[in-house]
């Protein structure tokens, strides 16, 4: 009863229940719980209520409960022992309170159903809210400006990492990356444009190229301070086998939310060292295959509203190899 009234206050209770509740609203204006007496004790089984000595009740060892409670559980008079015929006072009780109890049960069921709907709606609203929250966090992360480290900042970080790594290239790399990430959390080194057992094409921004240059010098036992800095992005074509496909050109196309489809701009190529080379260690007379770096301005890879950057490697024969970089992927080119 109290529960029903509480639900009504939220405006969910169906009309029938409200009418029923009104029957118990006294002059004080407060809901009163109807005083339905508990009635005689009856035995219950099989959704029936029985006389004390009904053979079914005895056979089932049916428990005894008040008649009002049996009616609340929607039990009916047993058709075998016919309790209402044999006990006129039971019939009187059902006549006096049966309908009220029925209405009470119905209102309770409806209130519970309404409460279940309300709960489901609240859960759905919460789910939608959480999704929106995640989406806004993602957006915030995607649209925050990428931290671009200067040459001096990068050299200082490399020097600190070198001091911690005792000249070991792998140690240097892990220390360098950890320190860069303290400033620019998305930093992850070179990014794959194309990867197959025959050919790798990687994208590397200024910090990545510097990291690779220092490691290269460490491996060659050259002073790491001599590593060169370049402010651009290199697309590096690295064949792994003389059978690798020949790449004759690398093109970078950029589009954004403001441009219609097909209106991409093509980034200016700043330089290229692409040339046929014999792979190191390959037998004399083996086929030369195109390798080298093609450089583009970092601005061509700067993330922005709806920005899509396609890096396309054009093969001498065969379809283009390409990768499309969008928001989060573009942020990794550093």
CB of 37 to Zn ion, least distance (A): 23
Within 71-130, the residues that bind Zn ion by CB under 5 A are: 78, 80-81
Whose Cβ is closer to Zn ion: residue 62's or residue 107's? 62
- Structure-block tokens of residue 185: 């959390």
Within 154-213, the residues that bind Zn ion by CB under 5 A are: none
Binding window for Zn ion (CB under 5 A); candidates: 7-15, 26-34, 49-57, 106-114: 49-57
- DSSP label of 147: P
Whose Cβ is closer to Zn ion: residue 70's or residue 107's? 70
Within 228-247, the residues that bind Zn ion by CB under 5 A are: none
Q: Judged by CB under 5 A, does residue 43 bind Zn ion?
A: no
Whose Cβ is closer to Zn ion: residue 78's or residue 267's? 78
Whose Cβ is closer to Zn ion: residue 76's or residue 127's? 76
Q: Judged by CB under 5 A, does residue 67 bind Zn ion?
A: no
3-class secondary-structure state, position 330: helix
Residue at token pair 């200016």: 268
CB of 72 to Zn ion, least distance (A): 19
Q: Which residue is nearest to Zn ion (CB)?
A: 78
Binding test (CB under 5 A) with Zn ion, winner from 7, 20, 21, 50: 50
Whose Cβ is closer to Zn ion: residue 13's or residue 51's? 51
| Closest by CA position to 252, among listed 196, 296, 212 | 296
CB of 44 to Zn ion, least distance (A): 10
Binding window for Zn ion (CB under 5 A); candidates: 47-55, 59-67, 119-127, 182-190: 47-55
Q: Which residues pair with 41 in a beta bridge?
A: 66
Rounded Cα distance, 105 and 22, in Å: 15
Binding test (CB under 5 A) with Zn ion, winner from 21, 42, 44, 54: 54
Whose Cβ is closer to Zn ion: residue 57's or residue 252's? 57
Whose Cβ is closer to Zn ion: residue 75's or residue 331's? 75
5 to 24: interface string for Zn ion, x by CB under 5 A: --------------------
CB of 102 to Zn ion, least distance (A): 21
CB of 101 to Zn ion, least distance (A): 20
Q: Judged by CB under 5 A, does residue 56 bind Zn ion?
A: yes
- 305 near 276, Cβ under 8 Å? no
Total residues in contact with Zn ion, by rule CB under 5 A = 6
Binding window for Zn ion (CB under 5 A); candidates: 44-52, 154-162, 284-292, 305-313: 44-52
CB of 98 to Zn ion, least distance (A): 18
3-class secondary-structure state, position 65: strand
Whose Cβ is closer to Zn ion: residue 81's or residue 203's? 81
Instruction: Determine how many CB atoms are found less than 10 A away from the CB of residue 253.
Output: 16
Which residues are near Zn ion by CB under 5 A?
50, 54, 56, 78, 80-81
């Amino acid at each position: 009863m109290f529960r029903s009234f509480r639900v009504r206050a939220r405006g969910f209770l169906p009309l029938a229940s409200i009418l029923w509740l009104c029957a118990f609203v006294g002059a004080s204006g407060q809901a009163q719980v109807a005083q339905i007496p508990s009635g005689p004790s009856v035995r219950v089984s099989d959704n029936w209520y029985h006389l004390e000595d009904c053979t079914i009740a005895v056979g089932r060892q049916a428990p005894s409960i008040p008649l009002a409670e049996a009616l609340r559980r929607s039990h009916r008079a047993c058709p075998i022992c016919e309790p209402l015929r044999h006990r006129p006072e039971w019939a009187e009780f059902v006549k006096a309170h049966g309908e009220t109890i029925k209405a009470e049960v119905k209102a309770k069921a409806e209130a519970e159903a309404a409460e279940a709907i309300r709960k489901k709606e609240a859960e759905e609203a919460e789910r939608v809210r959480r999704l929106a929250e995640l989406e806004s966090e993602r957006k915030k992360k995607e649209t925050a400006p990428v931290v671009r480290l200067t040459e001096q900042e990068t050299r200082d970080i490399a020097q600190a990492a070198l001091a911690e790594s005792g000249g070991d290239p792998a140690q240097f790399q892990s220390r360098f990356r950890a320190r860069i990430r303290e400033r620019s959390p998305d930093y992850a080194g070179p990014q794959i444009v194309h990867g197959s057992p025959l050919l790798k094409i990687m994208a590397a921004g200024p910090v990545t190229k510097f990291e690779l240059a220092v490691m290269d010098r460490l491996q060659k036992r050259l002073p790491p301070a001599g590593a060169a800095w370049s402010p651009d992005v290199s697309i590096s074509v690295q064949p792994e086998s003389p059978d690798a496909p020949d790449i004759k050109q690398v093109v970078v196309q950029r589009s954004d939310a403001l441009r219609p489809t097909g209106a991409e701009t093509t980034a200016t190529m700043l330089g290229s060292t692409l040339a046929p080379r014999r792979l190191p260690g390959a037998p004399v007379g083996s086929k030369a295959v195109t390798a080298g770096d093609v450089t583009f301005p970092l601005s061509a890879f700067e993330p922005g509203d709806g920005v899509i950057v396609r890096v396309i490697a054009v093969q001498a024969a065969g379809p283009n190899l390409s990768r499309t970089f969008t928001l989060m992927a573009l942020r990794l080119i550093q």
